[in-house]
Structure 1
Amino acid sequence: MAANKLERILGSDIVKYVLNTIEEGILIVDAGCRIVFYNGTLSRLEGLAAKEVVGKLLFDVFPSITPQESTLCKVMETGEPIRDWLQEYVNYQGKQIKTVNTTIPIIDKGTMLGALEVSRDISLVVSLTEKVSFLQRFAGKGGKPPISFANIVGDSPKIRAIVDRLKKVAHTTSTVLIYGETGTGKELFAQSLHNEGRRRNQPFIAQNCAALPESLLEGMLFGSTKGSFTGAVDKAGLFEQAQGGTVFLDEINSMSLSLQAKILRVLQEGAVRRLGGGEDIPVDVRFIAATNEKPAELLAAGKLREDLFYRLSVICVEIPPLRERREDIYGLAGYFINKYNSRFQKRVTGLAPEVMAIFLRYGWPGNVRELEHVVEALLNFTDSGLITAEHLKYLSFGAFQNFIERQNLTGTGGGEAGNYFKASFGRQEEKLIIEAMQSSHGNITRAAELLGMKRQALQYRLKKYGILNKPAER
C-alpha cells in the first residue's frame, strides 16, 4: 500500500519534470529499499540509465553499500533527516563516486513511504583539492623559485611596514592571523612568511575553508579512518601532510563553531585525531590563518570563537585595501603589464595618463586581484604602445566596467572627457607626490623610488605643482 502511494505521487509528469531538471542527483527508494525514482543528473554522474536501476533493490545496484551504512535506510529507521553527509562508494560498474548527500524520510500520516536523497557531486572538487595539496607539499623542489617578500609589489608605507613586521617573525613558530578584504593577497603574504622562515624546505599547504562543504573540509584537514563514513579509507589529513611545515587556513571564519573548536584543540595539543579514529597523532606545523572580515566584527557576530581568535592572533596583521594605498597602483599595473606581455607575447609599454587617472580614482573593491584581471583583459585588446581610454570600451565585466560607463570615461581623451582626465590625473598625481615626499622626509631620490619614476621626472613635477613651496601638512 505504501509503495503504491509513493508511486502515485511520483507518477505526476510535473513532479518528474522538476526532479529531472535540477542540477543535483535525486534518488528515491520505497520502504523496502527498492529504487522508484532516479533522475537524469544522477544518471549522468553514475553512468547508469534510469531504466537500468528503477525497480531494483538499492544494494543490487550499489553492492559496496550495506544496509548498516546506507543513509536511506538510517533515515527510514529513525524518521530523522541526515544533512551534508560525505559519501564515497563504487557502483556496480566499478566507478568511484564521491558526493555530499542530504537524505530525508518520506512520511505520510505516520506511515513511512520511503526516503529521498539529494546528492551533490564533489568528485572533481576532491580530486583538484588533493592534487593541489600534493603539489603544495613538493613546491619549490626542482620547480620555480618559491614566493618571498621580494615578490610583493608595493612601496607604500603601509605595505612596507607589514613586510618589515612579518620578516621579524618569520623565524619563529608563533601563529599569525591575517585580515584583509578579498583580493588583497593574503596567501601571498602567508607563503612569503613561510619561505622566509626555518620551515622553508618543508610543506606549505593552503586550504580555503569556504571552498568545501564542511563535512568534506573536516575530512580533508584531519584525515579519515576506515568506516568513518561510507567508503572511507585510512588517509592522512592536511595537518599530517604538512608535518614540519606550515598550514594556511583562509576564510577560517566560514567554519562552524564546532569545527573551530577542533582546530583550537590541534593548536593547543599539537595533535590531530582522524575522523572515526581514537588515536592522537602528533603534528608539528605552524598555523597561519586569514579572514576577509574584520575580526572584531566576527567576534561580535558570534562567527569566530573568542578562544580560537586569541590563540591564532599572537601576531595579527591587516592588509590594507588597494583604495587605501593608491600609490601602489603604479607599480602593480606595471608588474601585471610585464607579466601578461610575457604570457601573451605583447609589447605594451604602460597606461596612458587618462587611463592611469581612472585607475587612481576607482575604488577597486576586488583589490589587487581585480586590478590584475582588468590589466589582463586590456592586454587582450592591445598589442603594443600605451593602453588608452579607447581600449576601455572592450571591457565587458564587473564593477570597473560599471564605473567607467557611469562616468562616461570610454572616450578617446578629447573634449570634455579629455579635460576631466587631465584634471583628475593632475590631482591624484599631486596628492601621491606629496605623500611620497612626506614618507621619504623630503628625500627626492627615495620619493622617486616609491613612485616608480626617475628622479628627473619627479623634479619636473615638483616644480610643476609647486610642491616644494607648499606647507608640510599637505
Structure 2
Amino acid sequence: MNDKLYDIETIVGMNKLYKTLLDEVDTGIHVINKNSKTIVYNRKMAEIESMDRDDVLHKNLLDVFSFHGKQNSTLIETLHTGQVKRRKKQTYFNNKGKEITTINDSFPIKNKGEIVAVVEIAKDVTQLERMIKENVLQKKNSNFTFDQIIGDSEPMQAVIEEAKRATRTASSVLIVGDTGTGKELFAQSIHNGSHRSSGPFISQNCAAIPDSLMEGLLFGTKKGAFTGAVDRPGLFEQANGGTLLLDEINSLDLALQAKLLRAVQEKTIRRVGDMQEKKIDVRIIATMNEDPIDAINERRLRRDLYYRLSVVTLLIPSLNERKDDIWLLINHFIDKYNALFEMNVEHISEAAKAVLYQHHWPGNVRELEHTIEGTMNMIMDENVIDIANLPISFLKRYPFHKKHAQTIDRNIINFDNNKEEVQPLQTKMYELEKAYIQRVLEVHNHNISRTATKLGISRQSLQYRLKKFGL
C-alpha cells in the first residue's frame, strides 16, 4: 500500500515538474493526439498565438486555427504522413483572425508502430515577417521630392540647397534634426533627385527593432545558421543599387555599429551564418534626433562610424526656428484634410494664428499637422478655423489677447527719426542676430554647448547659424 502511495506521489510530482518545465522554456510547444485534439499547449505557444489555453486545449486544431491557400497545419501533415518536418515556415490565423508566422519542427510519437501523438516545437518569426513587409511598402512609397518640402524661410531654403547638392554623388549623408522636422522627407528627396532614383529606397527605424533581430534584418541570414534560420536577403541586399535609410542610427548596439561601419567601408556584407562575402552598391543615409557629439561622448555612437556617415551633414531646423513657415504649413494641412474629410475649410483666423504662434512646437511639423487634423475633427459647419476650434490644451496654455493678433512676436527697435537709417527688415534682423550670437559666443569663450544653452536653441541650430553668418 505504501509503495503504491509512493508511486502515486511520484507520478503527481513528475507531472508538476513536466508542467513547470514546459511553461518555463522560451519555445512554443504544441502536442495533438491521433484525433487532432490538443493535449499539450505551453505558455510560450499561447503567447505566440495570442490565445487563451482554455480555447485550445482538448479542441480539434482545425476548429481553432485556419490555414489559407494551399498551406496546411504542419502538425496535421505530420500526423497523416508520419514524416518528421524540420525548420518549416508556416503562416496561419488564430480564432480572432490574427496572422501568425512560425518556424516549426514537427515529429510523430509512436506506440507499437502507430502514431498516437504529434509534437511541434515552434519559433515565432511573426515580428520579422511584418518588418520585412513594412520595408517592402516603404520601398514602394518613396515618392517625396524637394518640390514637396514646404518652407520659404531662410533656414529651410539653405538646408534644401545643401541637400540638392548632395544628390550629385553617392557619398553617405547624416541628417540631424529634432523629432518631427521631416528628416525622412529630405532622405527621400535626395534619393529621388539622384541617379539612384530608379533603384530601391528602403527605410528602417533602428530604434524599433530588438538587437537580437537587427543583425539578421540588416545583413540577411543563411539557412542553418540557427534554429529556424532560412536563406533571406537583408536590407543591404534589398537596397542594392539604391538607398538605405537608417533612422535613429544612434539606437543601434555598438557592436552592430562596428559591423555596419565595415559594410560601409568595404562595400561588402556577410549574411549571418555565412562565410561568403557579397558585394553591395548602396548609398547610406542616416538620421539622428540628437547632437552627434553628445551621442559619441555618451557612448551611443561610435566616433569612427560618425566620421564615415557624416561625409555630408544636414542640420534640419526646428519649426520654432522657422516660424515664418507656420502659415504655409497650416494652409497645406488644411488643404490635405479638406480632401480627406470632404470638408471646405478656407483659412485660419488671425486670432487663432496668434495663439498657435506662441507655441514652442517641441514636436515640430508633425505636431503642427496633428494639431490641425485634431482641430478639423472638431469643426462642424464652419469654414474658418477660429480660436474656439483649437485644442483645449492650447487655449489653457495661451490665453488670447487682441494685441497678439496685431503684433505677433514683434520686437521694438529704437532708431533716430532719420530715413537714411531705416533699413529693410530682413537686413536689420540678419545684422542683429549675427551680432547677438557673436557676443554670446565671446562671453562663453566660443563654447558651442554653453552658448546654445544660453540662447535656448539646440547645438545643431547654433552650428547652422555659425555657418550661415560665417562665424
Which category describes the TM-score, using the shorter chain as reference length? 0.5 to 0.7
- Provide the secondary structure at the position in 1 that maps to 2:383: strand
1:262 Cα deviation (Å)?
0.9
Summarize the Cα distance change of 1:128–1:405 in structure 2 as closer, same or farther, 3 Å threshold: farther
Distance 2:412 2:331 in 1: 17
1:425 Cα deviation (Å)?
3.0
Distance 1:365 1:402 in 2: 14
- Provide the secondary structure at the position in 2 that maps to 1:170: helix
- Identical counterparts, % of pairs: 38
Distance 1:342 1:43 in 2: 39
Partner of 1:209: 206
Instruction: Please state if 1:44 is matched with 2:50.
Output: yes
1:239 Cα deviation (Å)?
0.8
Instruction: Please state if 1:170 is matched with 2:174.
Output: no
**What is the letter of the counterpart of residue 426 of structure 1?**
Q
1:321-356 alpha-carbon deviations (Å, 9 max, x no partner) = 111111111111111111111111111112111211
The number of equivalent residue pairs is 364
1:257 Cα deviation (Å)?
0.2
**What is the letter of the counterpart of residue 132 of structure 2?**
E
Partner of 2:287: 290
Distance 1:90 1:256 in 2: 30
Q: Which protein has the larger Cα radius of gyration, Structure 1 or Structure 2?
A: 2
Instruction: Please state if 1:323 is matched with 2:320.
Output: yes
- Provide the secondary structure at the position in 2 that maps to 1:233: coil
Instruction: Please state if 1:97 is matched with 2:77.
Output: no
1:136 Cα deviation (Å)?
4.0
Distance 1:320 1:93 in 2: 46
Distance 2:164 2:57 in 1: 60
1:163-213 alpha-carbon deviations (Å, 9 max, x no partner) = 011111211011110111111110001001111111111111111111121
Partner of 1:143: none
2:406 to 410, 426, 430: 426
Distance 2:233 2:223 in 1: 12
Summarize the Cα distance change of 1:173–1:378 in structure 2 as closer, same or farther, 3 Å threshold: same
Task: Check conservation: 1:46, 1:91, Cα contact below 8 A.
Answer: no
1:366 Cα deviation (Å)?
1.0
Distance 1:403 1:93 in 2: 44
Distance 2:188 2:270 in 1: 26
What are the within-5 Å matches in structure 2 for residues 16-415 of structure 1?
A: 37-38=42-43, 40-42=46-48, 44=50, 49-51=56-58, 90=90, 97-98=101-102, 123=126, 125-139=127-141, 146-382=143-379, 383-392=381-390, 395=391, 401-407=392-398, 409=399
1:139 Cα deviation (Å)?
4.6
1:15-67 alpha-carbon deviations (Å, 9 max, x no partner) = xxxx99xxx998699xxxx96843754453599724579xxxxx989989xxx
Distance 2:239 2:313 in 1: 22
Task: Check conservation: 2:49, 2:100, Cα contact below 8 A.
Answer: no
**What is the letter of the counterpart of residue 209 of structure 1?**
C
Distance 1:308 1:132 in 2: 26
**What is the letter of the counterpart of residue 395 of structure 2?**
I
Which structure 1 residue ranges, 5 or more long, are not aligned? 13-18, 54-58, 71-86, 100-118, 141-145, 396-400, 410-416, 443-474
**What is the letter of the counterpart of residue 423 of structure 1?**
K
More divergent stretch after superposition (89-98 vs 336-345)? 89-98
1:349-384 alpha-carbon deviations (Å, 9 max, x no partner) = 121112111111111111111111111111122244
Distance 2:14 2:394 in 1: 55
Summarize the Cα distance change of 1:234–1:294 in structure 2 as closer, same or farther, 3 Å threshold: same
Distance 1:359 1:348 in 2: 17
Task: Check conservation: 2:207, 2:248, Cα contact below 8 A.
Answer: yes
Task: Check conservation: 2:92, 2:101, Cα contact below 8 A.
Answer: no
Which structure 2 residue ranges, 5 or more long, are not aligned? 1-8, 31-38, 61-73, 80-84, 104-121, 414-422, 430-471
Distance 2:40 2:178 in 1: 48
- Provide the secondary structure at the position in 1 that maps to 2:262: helix
Task: Check conservation: 1:62, 1:92, Cα contact below 8 A.
Answer: no
- Provide the secondary structure at the position in 1 that maps to 2:208: coil
Distance 1:183 1:92 in 2: 37
Distance 1:93 1:347 in 2: 43
**What is the letter of the counterpart of residue 280 of structure 1?**
E
What is the CA RMSD across the aligned residues, in angstroms?
A: 4.2
**What is the letter of the counterpart of residue 387 of structure 2?**
A
Partner of 1:111: none
1:204-238 alpha-carbon deviations (Å, 9 max, x no partner) = 11111111212222222111110123222111111
Distance 2:141 2:233 in 1: 19
- Provide the secondary structure at the position in 2 that maps to 1:332: helix
Distance 1:329 1:384 in 2: 22
Summarize the Cα distance change of 1:204–1:349 in structure 2 as closer, same or farther, 3 Å threshold: same
Task: Check conservation: 1:246, 1:286, Cα contact below 8 A.
Answer: yes
- Provide the secondary structure at the position in 2 that maps to 1:289: strand
Task: Check conservation: 2:139, 2:203, Cα contact below 8 A.
Answer: no
Summarize the Cα distance change of 1:244–1:91 in structure 2 as closer, same or farther, 3 Å threshold: closer
Task: Check conservation: 1:247, 1:288, Cα contact below 8 A.
Answer: yes
TM-score calculated relative to the size of structure 1 = 0.66
**What is the letter of the counterpart of residue 315 of structure 1?**
V
